[in-house]
């Protein structure tokens, strides 16, 4: 059963929602999806989650590739990431089963350069753009470029058809869904018509009723010139001149990337922690994905505190412990620590349940806080054992 259909049937069944069912749902996602996009606010464990999903798929026999943006040093080492190649390289050590796992870390600048080379008429046009100062700045500093390049690389890997499953981790952005808007934003920027209006209004728009606009654009150009120097403005002009003819190619590519994200073979996994801000961001993400009709596969809540079962101890007994021997006082502290943990776990559950209630048809998997950082394959496997049924 496809994840979407399973979700519908489960939603129709109503109250039959259990943690185990939600975990098997996530299992279904890595068994059947062709693309999994992990998104969420910064610091919630997106990269580890993406890597754990990829390890699971690979060990179940799928040809899998994980694309990460900014992995922790030790996780990168564990995955054997070659930071320089901007292409996937196999994770050989310690993988079990018949599948395969490749991993790569995105080099945003290289990806953009490759895109230019692909769409340039000839090497000469490509070289002119790559050497342009404005391009160099836009390609590395413009907000949204990193997001777009992640999606672009994903599309390229998808097109190569070398893998059955691609797992991608999205960059930490101010708004976690910038990557959905990034193609549009970049395209607008590259739309040379705007540049013509701004830089060369007089030649392009000679009509009287636009004279006010002419004055405005001239003033703008003057301001830009004053801020950045006329040299840079000339570079901007050269960039757009060099870019001539490539815009259409870029635009249709961006459209295809967007379509790929909407494809039912793509599943978004929203990642959060039980902190209020991370859950707020997750709620926003889920609603935004739904509004864009993007397929959401599951919600993963990492680092959830869990308290074990301990019978209540009467206050009088607690007081006697606190006033007793070293061991008694230690036990009193263990009990107090347990109560703190219980209160924390309960507060987290209230917040997580409130979010789940607002997303009734979305499978939610909670991963308990692990005592150690996840930084190797066994660690990713341990994480996986909490993610899946």
Partner 1 sequence: MTRMLNELLDRARLLVVTGKGGTGKTTVAGALAMAAARRGRRTLVLEVEGRQGLAALFGHPSLGYRETMVAEGVMGLAVDPEESLREYLGRYGAAPLARLLSWARLTRFITAAAPGLGDILLVGKVWEATTRQRQTTRAAPAPGRTGGALSAPPVNTPSSYYDLVVLDAPPTGRIVPFLRAPETVAELARVGPIRHQAERVRELLDDPALTRMVLVCLPEELPVTETLESASLLRAARLPLGPVVANRISADRLGARGGRLAALAREPEPLAEAARQAGAELDGKALATLIGEARDQRRRVEAERRLLRELRAGLPELPVVELPLLLDGVNGAADVATLAERLTDDPTPRADRVRA
Dist. CA 23–CA 41, nearest whole Å? 22
Exactly one of 207, 248, 293, 314 binds partner 1 (CB under 8 A); which one?
Answer: 314
- In angstroms, how far is the first alpha carbon of the chain from the final one? 16
308 binds partner 1 (CB under 8 A): yes
Site for partner 1 in 245-264 (CB under 8 A): none
Selected binder of partner 1 within 11, 13, 19, 213 (CB under 8 A)? 213
Q: How far is CA 200 from the centre of its chain?
A: 39
Binding mask 150-189 for partner 1 (x = CB under 8 A): ----------------------x-x----------x--xx
SS3 41: coil
Contact call for residues 374 and 48 (beta carbons, < 8 A)? yes
250: CB partners within 8 A, 6+ apart:
115, 119, 186, 187, 190
Min dist CB 300 to partner 1, Å, is 16
Residues 6 or more apart whose CB falls under 8 angstroms from that of 95 comprise: 55, 58, 59, 101, 377
**Window 328-347: residues binding partner 1 (CB under 8 A):** 328, 330-331, 333-338, 340-341, 343-344, 347
Cα–chain-centroid distance for residue 388?
20
Q: Which CB, 90 or 229, lies closer to partner 1?
A: 229
Comparing CB distances to partner 1, the nearer of 40 and 99 is 40
| Cα–Cα nearest to 381, from 11, 44, 35, 53 | 53
SS3 37: strand
Q: Does 219 bind partner 1 (CB under 8 A)?
A: yes
Rounded to a whole number of angstroms, the minimum distance from the CB of residue 53 to partner 1 is: 20
Q: Which is nearer to partner 1, 30 or 242 (CB)?
A: 242
| Distance from C-alpha of 27 to C-alpha of 84, rounded to nearest angstrom | 32
Instruction: Pick the stretch among 4-12, 24-32, 156-164, 371-379 that binds partner 1 (CB under 8 A).
Output: 371-379
Helices (H) and strands (E) in the chain — how many of each? 18, 8
Q: Is 216 in the site for partner 1 (CB under 8 A)?
A: yes
**Contacting partner 1 within 87-126 (CB under 8 A):** none
**Region 272-291 residues binding partner 1, contact defined as CB under 8 A:** 275-277
User: Nearest 5 degrees, angle CA 331-CA 335-CA 339?
Assistant: 170
Q: Among residues 121, 118, 137, which one has the least CA distance to residue 235?
A: 137
CB of residue 252 to partner 1, shortest distance in Å: 20
Q: Which stretch binds partner 1 (CB under 8 A): 23-31, 37-45, 54-62, 93-101?
A: 37-45
Hey, which residues between 130 and 149 contact partner 1 (CB under 8 A)?
134, 137-138, 141-143
Is the CB of 159 or the CB of 373 nearer to partner 1?
A: 373
Q: Is 1 in the site for partner 1 (CB under 8 A)?
A: no
Q: Which range of residues in 147-155, 209-217, 245-253, 358-366 is near partner 1 by CB under 8 A?
A: 209-217
194 part of the interface to partner 1, by CB under 8 A: yes
Q: Vertex 181, ends 179 and 184: CA angle to 5°?
A: 125
């Amino acid at each position: 059963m496809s994840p979407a259909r399973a979700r519908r049937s489960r939603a129709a069944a109503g109250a039959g929602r259990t943690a185990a069912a939600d975990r098997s749902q996530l299992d279904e996602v890595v068994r059947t999806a062709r693309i999994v996009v992990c998104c969420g606010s910064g610091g919630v464990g997106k990269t580890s989650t993406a890597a754990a999903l990829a390890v699971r798929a690979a060990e179940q026999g799928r040809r899998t590739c994980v694309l990460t943006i900014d992995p922790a040093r030790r996780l990168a080492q564990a995955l054997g990431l070659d930071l320089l190649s901007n292409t996937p390289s196999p994770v050989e050590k310690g993988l079990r089963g018949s599948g395969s796992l490749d991993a790569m870390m995105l080099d945003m600048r290289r990806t953009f350069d490759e895109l230019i080379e692909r769409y340039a008429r000839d090497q000469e046009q490509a070289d002119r753009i790559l050497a342009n100062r404005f391009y160099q700045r836009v390609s590395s500093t413009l907000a949204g470029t990193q997001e777009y390049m992640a999606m672009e690389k994903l599309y390229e890997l998808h097109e190569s058809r070398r893998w059955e499953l691609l797992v991608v981790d999205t960059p930490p952005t101010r708004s976690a869904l910038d990557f959905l808007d990034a193609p549009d934003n970049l395209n607008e920027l590259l739309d040379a018509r705007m540049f013509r209006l701004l830089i060369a209004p007089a030649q392009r728009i000679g009509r009287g009723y636009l004279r006010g606009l002419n004055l405005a654009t001239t003033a703008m150009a003057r301001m830009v010139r004053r801020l950045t120097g006329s040299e840079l403005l000339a570079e901007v002009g050269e960039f757009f001149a060099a870019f001539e003819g490539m815009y259409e190619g870029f635009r249709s590519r961006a459209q295809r990337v967007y379509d790929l994200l909407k494809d039912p073979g793509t599943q978004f996994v929203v990642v959060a922690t039980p902190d209020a801000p991370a859950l707020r961001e997750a709620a926003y993400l889920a609603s935004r994905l739904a509004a864009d009709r993007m397929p959401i596969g599951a919600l993963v809540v990492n680092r959830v505190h869990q308290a074990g079962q301990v019978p209540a101890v009467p206050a009088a007994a607690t007081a006697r412990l606190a006033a007793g021997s070293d061991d008694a006082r230690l036990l009193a502290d263990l009990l107090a620590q347990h109560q703190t943990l219980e209160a924390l776990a309960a507060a987290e559950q209230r917040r997580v349940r409130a979010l789940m209630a607002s997303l009734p048809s979305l499978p939610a998997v909670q991963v308990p806080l692990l005592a150690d950082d996840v930084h190797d394959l066994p660690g990713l496997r341990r994480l996986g054992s909490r993610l899946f049924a």
